[in-house]
């Protein structure tokens, strides 16, 4: 997935301390990705007042939900730096190819995680003759000491699951309810797919040092007495050792969390960095077709590369979290 927004703005995401217990909804932003297909994705991270949840810094839902059009589109070669991409398909199949030689198909229930480090390029194409691909695309910011490590790619076809009282969880990354994902993490983080049966009342153990948020993909659930439904990211803050979840009609959701990320980040287009200069250098290297940093992807021709959008004039907008009294 590439951020295909025509004029992405540069944002400085300032770090914050431990947020405490919260219950706050952050509505999805509809982002038209342009192009002939007129595709819209629903973006719930970053938000002006919630730039990150743990090290999770980007969350797009494409092609799922009643108002979303099927994505069904192919994402041509594009670069990333300073982050891990997490691809979690909900239906269909996606073919992933990258500049470290990967060429794999991913199915729902399987995880692709790509560590960009100092630089990587990849493409993601829908596999023809399957349901048009809906899915989630997330990015995890790499901490400073690993931001420029050599790029690498992992696919995990088997992920650990846990079950308790009407809830079935699949751990994408990190640990939850005693189960640990094999995916490589560079910060204390968790991500899990949750299937909640109709009529469930269950308590999910959480790491109280982490902040957490829930994205409901389908259905509806109640977390700690607050209703969460598709269309928003439901932010829970930190200091929760357990989370009571109930659902009348059943739900499919994603739980994300992690230790609050304590570094300032500059995010622009497909890059996560620490400064405008780093972003500018990565953009220049991509535009100059620097094969040292962004090698070609086998099977693609250079004219398929997505050109970088124009870099906006230097304008770092601090993104501070709101502080104060939790509402609701």
Please report how close the Cβ of residue 212 comes to Mn ion at its closest, in angstroms.
25
Size of the site for Mn ion (CB under 5 A): 2
**In Å, how far are 66, 206, 238, 281 from 259, measured between CA atoms?**
33, 12, 9, 29
In whole angstroms, the minimum distance from the beta carbon of 1 to Mn ion comes to 5
Nearer to Mn ion, 208 or 309 (CB): 309
Shortest distance (Å) from residue 75 CB to Mn ion: 6
Q: Least Å distance between CB 61 and Mn ion?
A: 15
Residues within window 2-21 making contact with Mn ion, judged by CB under 5 A: 2
Minimum gap (Å) between residue 221 Cβ and Mn ion = 29
Minimum CB distance to Mn ion smaller for 1 or for 185: 1
If the CB atoms of residues 1 and 297 are measured against Mn ion, the closer one turns out to be 1
Minimum separation from the CB atom of position 242 to Mn ion (A): 35
DSSP for 221-266? EEETTEEE-TTEEEEEES--SEEEEEESS-EEEEEEEESPP-S-EE
Q: Which is nearer to Mn ion, 2 or 238 (CB)?
A: 2
Determine the longest span between alpha carbons in the chain, in angstroms. Answer: 56
How far apart are CB 301 and Mn ion at their closest, in Å? 18
Helix (H) or strand (E) holding 204: strand 200-205
Q: Which of residues 281-320 bind Mn ion (CB under 5 A)?
A: none
C-alpha dihedral (6, 12, 14, 20), degrees to nearest 10: -10
Cα–Cα distance measured from residue 6 to residue 308, given in angstroms and rounded to the nearest whole number: 9
Which residue's Cβ has the minimum distance to Mn ion?
1
Closer Cβ to Mn ion, 50 or 86, answer by number? 86
Residues 145-184 close enough to bind Mn ion by CB under 5 A: none
Q: Please say which residue, 25 or 95, places its beta carbon nearer to Mn ion.
A: 95
- CA dist 144 and 192 (Å) reads 25
**Which H helix or E strand runs over 61?**
strand 56-62
Tokens of 173: 């990354």
Given the complex with Mn ion, which of 124 and 211 has the nearer CB atom?
124
CB 4 within 8 A of CB 306: yes
User: What are the structure tokens assigned to 69, written together?
Assistant: 């059009």
Q: How far is the CB of 139 from Mn ion (least distance, A)?
A: 8
Considering only the stretches 1-9, 187-195, 254-262, 287-295, report the one whose residues sit in contact with Mn ion under the rule CB under 5 A.
Answer: 1-9
Residue with tokens 């997330």: 138
What's the CA gap between 238 and 257, in Å, rounded? 9
Residue 1 in contact with Mn ion, rule: CB under 5 A: yes
Q: Are 1 and 267 in contact (CB under 8 A)?
A: no
Closest to Mn ion by CB, 1 or 194: 1
Q: Which residues bind Mn ion (CB under 5 A)?
A: 1-2
């Amino acid at each position: 997935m590439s951020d295909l927004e025509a004029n992405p703005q540069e944002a400085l995401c300032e770090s914050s301390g431990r947020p405490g217990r919260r219950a706050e909804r952050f509505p999805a932003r509809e982002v038209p990705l342009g192009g002939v297909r007129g595709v819209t994705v629903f973006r719930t991270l970053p938000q002006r007042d919630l730039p990150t949840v743990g090290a999770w810094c980007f969350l797009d839902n494409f092609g799922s939900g009643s108002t979303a059009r099927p994505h069904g589109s192919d994402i041509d070669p594009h670069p990333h730096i300073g982050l891990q991409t997490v691809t979690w398909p909900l239906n269909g199949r996606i073919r992933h190819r990258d500049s470290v030689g990967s060429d794999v198909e991913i199915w729902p229930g399987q995880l692709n995680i790509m560590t960009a480090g100092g630089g990587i390029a990849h493409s993601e194409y829908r596999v023809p003759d399957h349901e048009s691909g809906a899915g989630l695309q997330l990015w995890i910011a790499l901490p400073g000491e690993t931001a420029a490590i050599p790029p690498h790619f992992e696919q995990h076809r088997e992920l650990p699951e846990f079950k308790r009282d009407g809830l079935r969880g699949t751990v994408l990354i990190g640990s939850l309810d005693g189960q640990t994902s094999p995916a490589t993490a560079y910060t204390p983080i968790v991500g899990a797919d949750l299937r909640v049966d109709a009529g469930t009342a269950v308590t999910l153990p959480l790491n109280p040092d982490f902040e957490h948020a829930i994205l409901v993909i389908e259905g509806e659930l109640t977390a700690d007495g607050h209703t969460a439904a598709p269309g928003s990211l439901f932010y829970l803050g930190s200091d929760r050792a357990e989370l009571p979840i109930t659902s009348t009609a059943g739900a499919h959701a994603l739980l994300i969390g992690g230790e609050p990320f304590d570094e300032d980040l500059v995010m622009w287009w497909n890059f996560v960095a620490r400064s405008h200069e780093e972003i500018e250098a990565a953009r220049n290297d991509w535009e100059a077709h620097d094969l040292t940093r962004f090698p070609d992807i086998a099977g693609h021709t250079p004219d398929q590369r997505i050109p970088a959008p124009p870099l906006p004039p230097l304008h770092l907008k601090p993104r501070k979290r709101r502080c104060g009294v939790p509402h609701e």
